[in-house]
Structure 1
């Protein structure tokens, strides 16, 4: 009986580990798609909710800076090749965001280097790099 039990437990643990990986991957895909959609609609207040709460608390965005996001409409969001894993619980993604200044109608592009981290406790992916820097020239 013991000969059968040990391999059975080992296979079960490996299968559960695979399930956790699949759940993380599915959660990442869902989170990145939701974030992209939110930014495409130009809703930076909602996009701020994707930022890790610890990062938001440590580096709050002043109201004037949040108001600056309202000066732009997003005309493009290109995530290129998608996320690149950096270990089990972190991915990096480089995104090109096209912005149109609503006052001047001038369009420009900014590069957003995103770092996403998986929180095992909440089973949620959080953006650690913060909102895109729209002050880039």
Structure 2
């Protein structure tokens, strides 16, 4: 009879862990969708708010970078296969972004390697790799 309570405790722990994982996964999907939509609209200033606050404070987006972002229009944001888990609290995602220079109308594509981290305290996913580097060739 002593086994039944311990089995119930074990099942409860597994059920709670499953719920936490599902909640984290749903929050990741919501965050990645919001970030992708923000970039699709070319709103790099708002996209910067997805960056981990500690990283954002240590490495603020420069005025030069903001001016560069204003010179392009995002025409495609392809997140392909979606995020790939690194561990329980980190994922990576490779995104192909097509950009048009608003002055020259020339189009080019870049690859953005994103890393996202789940902060257990704030229960929030944060971008740790920074905004896309639109200066890459």
Length-normalised TM-score, structure 1: 0.97
Separation in structure 1 between the aligned mates of residue 90 and residue 20 of structure 2, nearest angstrom: 15
Quote the offset at 1:76 in angstroms.
0.3
Q: Could you say what secondary structure the match of 1:122 adopts?
A: coil
Separation in structure 1 between the aligned mates of residue 2 and residue 54 of structure 2, nearest angstrom: 47
Matched, 1:99 2:99: yes
Separation in structure 1 between the aligned mates of residue 28 and residue 7 of structure 2, nearest angstrom: 32
Separation in structure 1 between the aligned mates of residue 89 and residue 60 of structure 2, nearest angstrom: 24
Pairwise CA RMSD of aligned residues?
A: 0.9
Separation in structure 2 between the aligned mates of residue 56 and residue 67 of structure 1, nearest angstrom: 18
Separation in structure 1 between the aligned mates of residue 77 and residue 88 of structure 2, nearest angstrom: 26
Quote the offset at 1:4 in angstroms.
2.4
Number of residue-to-residue matches in the alignment: 137
- Name the structure 1 match of 2:119: 119
Runs of 4+ that moved beyond 3 A: none
Q: Could you say what secondary structure the match of 2:87 adopts?
A: coil
Q: Aligned runs of 1:3-82 on 2, under 5 Å?
A: 3-82=3-82
Separation in structure 1 between the aligned mates of residue 20 and residue 78 of structure 2, nearest angstrom: 28
Length-normalised TM-score, structure 2: 0.97
Post-superposition CA distance 1:67-125 (Å, at most 9, x none):
21010000000011111110111111110000000011011001000000110011111
Quote the offset at 1:130 in angstroms.
0.2
Separation in structure 1 between the aligned mates of residue 64 and residue 110 of structure 2, nearest angstrom: 20
Q: Could you say what secondary structure the match of 1:94 adopts?
A: strand
Quote the offset at 1:3 in angstroms.
3.3
Separation in structure 1 between the aligned mates of residue 66 and residue 120 of structure 2, nearest angstrom: 30
